[in-house]
Structure 1
Amino acid sequence: MASISPGMDFAEPKTAKAATAAVSTRDPRLDVFRGLAMFIILVAHIPDNTWANWIPARFGFSDATEIFVFCSGMASAIAFGGVFARKGWLTGTARVLFRCWQVYWAHIGLFFLTAAAMAAIDLWWAGDKSYVAALNLKPFFDDPEQQIVGLFTLTYIPNYFDILPMYLVVLAMMPLMMALVSISLWAAVAFSISLWLAANVGTMHFPAEPWSNREWFFNPLGWQLLFFTGFAFMRGWFAPPPVSRALLWVCVAFLVLSAPFSSWKVFTWVEAASPSLGDWIRGTWDWMTQQDALDLFSPRDKTDFGILRYLHFLALAYVAWAAAGPGGARLRRIANGSAGIIWRCLVEIVTKVGQQSLAVFVFSMAIAQILGFVLDLAGRKTADHILVNLWGFALVTAVAYIAAWFKSQPWRSKAR
């Protein structure tokens, strides 16, 4: 049995040893796809944004959240997995806890920044709309004494602020998962699947409001399955599937055929073309959206990460992985300028945003609400939506480059 003693070397499965060197550097696919997720998340969170009608979530079971969580698992394999392997379990755990500390305060800061911005708009702009109420923050302002305790203990989680707490809890599971892997890879797999089943079939959840039975919108016990899937592939615990034309077509077929069942937009197109087919799809859709489907769970549920969301994302990820080429070769060629300077600049920008995802995410969630206020002021014409979205893209890009500049610590003198 492999030892997990803090003072001894941490043992990983033999399948991971060949991948140790590979995960010491960032995969370009990781940063590009996580960067794309950041832009999609901004678009999705600008209130009543017409551009949000065309994001991936409108065409399939999974959305940018899955991209963020899966890529975060891959990034964590690089940032933390190597620490466990090189420095041992105790040091690896300390590194993870430090990241949890950062994510916790990012969550607290995001809440207060957004709440203050909405309160300032309500105070200074005498309009008919209450932006505090629109974001469901009235309970906090009506009873701050109770809610501030809930905020800091993560028992008061308004829906808009739910992804970072989920990410924090999943990160905190990493030391336990690494300990299980050192004993047996399949023990870790069984544990992860058991937690997912407990979230989907059972009643294990986290309370989101002290005055109701509402749970966290993102249940970490369900979403950890996707996080550790990305983690396992990047650490080399499992070999990625080969690029197969047959498997590629299976994934494409699943993505296309599932679209009418997962997207109201696509469903209306199908219903207009064939009313009888639309009736059958509607009945199936109603069944899938019932929380008590099969008397057990909803297969497309977002809160507990239903199985259809998992399968849809894996199919989408496989297609994207194949399209990027071996080791991200096609992305590397674009980054090297072989596809033209415009494409090279776009890939460079998206990569930078993906590399600074935490800073970008926190900023984009705060600025999205302010951009929604700007749209209200402008009148929400088509040109207004174009300008506001592009301005938001420019702002998050600037934040990514500024965060990278600060991380480089340019004020430190370089050794000769």
Structure 2
Amino acid sequence: MPPRPPGSRRDHRIDALRGVALLMMFVDHIPQNVLNRFTLRNVGFADAAEIFVLLAGYASWLAYGRNFERVGLRAGVGRVWRRCLRLYVFQAVMVVVTTATIRYWRAFWPVPVDFLEPELAHGLSSFWRVLFLDALPSNLNILPLYMVLLGVFPLIYLMMRISLWLTLALSASLWLLINLDPSINFPNWLDPDGWYFDPLAWQFLFTLGACAAVVAGRHDGSLPRRGWLRWVCGLYLAVSALEAFPWQQWGLPDLRPFAITAPDKSVLAPLRLLDVLAIFYLVQSSHGVRGAAEGRIGRVMALFGRHSLEVFSAGTVIDLYARLIFTSFGSGWMLQIAVNVIGFTILWELATVLDRARIRQKQRQAAPPAAAEGRGNPAPAGSVMERAR
């Protein structure tokens, strides 16, 4: 592991949980991957996407919300929009790489139509729509959601300054409206139903994350621990696991107590929302999890989580090639092992390189004050005479 900067007191739970979510998303986006039988979606209504968005809201408050008070609203908004521009650049690169790869691959091996929408697979006359976010391919729809949510974060921040409860009430009302009428959505030229992740619904999860960061900040980074609430969350997750577990896929008798239909992901159905909130509360209110996040495995997961944009984008591209390989050459055990080992190794090396660069940058930023302090001391006479010569 790269050495941590001296004096670092960062709570690694958020980074570690985000790292786990990123790795699960990497596995889940390869349908033929055997490992996706062991991810969160198999033991609950929610999956890694809900965790990612909730933690995005939490991290946005830590990175930008508190920054508004130091640099002012105008400078803070500029920083948020620069981050949105960076997200857009990564999205555009992934779109270009995906489209070019599939169109080139088709010249040698057949590619199922669901790898890329026919409008893009058979021509590029509408490619501009993708770059303008008027059309979202099905496998490249998470970063646009994040861009929209982060872009409106300054407004969320101003509302939170007035009242957390008012902010949550307005956000929840909009989420409830979308669940009652799912037709209210952003337009998507490739899908008449609109964006797969409806931002008008998913903003509630993002806002909940930001408000949770404020509450946790008042309790040394943890959510208030309530024994009864932890029992309720645990019981709900147990029922959720029984309902969501793929019993038939494993050749086991169906033990679902209610046989509930899978809740709608597009509008963030209530069962999915409660699932991810229960997970988050148990993690962020647990001192044991905080200690585990400081351990070796926790720090490895946090390494991925600290560089979520780069790890997610690289994982998305690797997912594309893994799906193409499995589709063209089969998904036998040797290819399963090779694809997963190579994919995780690439992500690990990328996160390690980025973290070392982050540490070096922090060290350079910490150096100027010390250097300035040294310049403020009287220089020895000999050195003055040497410079004079």
Show the counterpart of 1:112. 96
In 2, the alpha carbon distance for the partners of 1:134 and 1:225 equals 30
Show the counterpart of 2:38. 54
What SS is found at the alignment partner of 1:159?
A: coil
- Report how far residue 403 of structure 1 moved: 2.7
Query: Identity percentage over the alignment?
Result: 29
TM-score norm. by structure 1 comes to: 0.78
TM-score norm. by structure 2 comes to: 0.83
In 1, the alpha carbon distance for the partners of 2:215 and 2:226 equals 20
Select the structure with the greater relative contact order (CA < 8 A; seq sep ≥ 6).
2
Within 5 Å, give how 1:298-337 maps onto structure 2.
Answer: 300-323=263-286, 325=288, 328-332=290-294, 334=295
Tell me the amino acid that sits aligned with residue 204 of structure 1.
Answer: I
- Counterpart check, 1:260 vs 2:242: yes
What SS is found at the alignment partner of 1:281?
A: coil
User: What are structure 2's unaligned runs of at least 5 residues?
Assistant: 1-7, 372-389
In 1, the alpha carbon distance for the partners of 2:276 and 2:141 equals 20
What SS is found at the alignment partner of 1:68?
A: helix
In 2, the alpha carbon distance for the partners of 1:266 and 1:27 equals 37
In 1, the alpha carbon distance for the partners of 2:106 and 2:306 equals 35
- Report how far residue 97 of structure 1 moved: 1.0
RMSD: 2.8
- Report how far residue 409 of structure 1 moved: 6.2
Show the counterpart of 2:148. 169
What SS is found at the alignment partner of 2:139?
A: helix
In 2, the alpha carbon distance for the partners of 1:92 and 1:182 equals 15
Tell me the amino acid that sits aligned with residue 84 of structure 1.
Answer: F
Tell me the amino acid that sits aligned with residue 59 of structure 1.
Answer: V
- Counterpart check, 1:390 vs 2:341: yes
User: What are structure 1's unaligned runs of at least 5 residues?
Assistant: 1-23, 290-299, 335-343
In 2, the alpha carbon distance for the partners of 1:86 and 1:408 equals 23
- Report how far residue 176 of structure 1 moved: 0.9
Show the counterpart of 1:373. 324
Within 5 Å, give how 1:235-254 maps onto structure 2.
Answer: 235-236=214-215, 241-254=223-236
CA distance 1:412–1:189, shift in 2 (3 Å): closer
- Counterpart check, 1:121 vs 2:121: no
Contact 1:77-1:231 within 8 A present in 2 as well: yes
Contact 1:115-1:137 within 8 A present in 2 as well: no
1:272 to 240, 253, 262: 253
Show the counterpart of 1:348. 299
Contact 1:159-1:216 within 8 A present in 2 as well: no
The structure with the largest alpha-carbon Rg is 2
CA distance 1:224–1:369, shift in 2 (3 Å): same
In 1, the alpha carbon distance for the partners of 2:193 and 2:116 equals 14
1:135 to 107, 115, 118: 115
Tell me the amino acid that sits aligned with residue 269 of structure 2.
Answer: G
Once the two structures are superposed, residues 90-142 of structure 1 have per-residue CA deviations (whole angstroms, 9 ceiling, x without a partner) of 2221111111111111111111112222222223xx33x225x3412331143
In 2, the alpha carbon distance for the partners of 1:371 and 1:183 equals 48
Tell me the amino acid that sits aligned with residue 97 of structure 2.
Answer: L
- Counterpart check, 1:281 vs 2:243: no
In 1, the alpha carbon distance for the partners of 2:328 and 2:192 equals 37
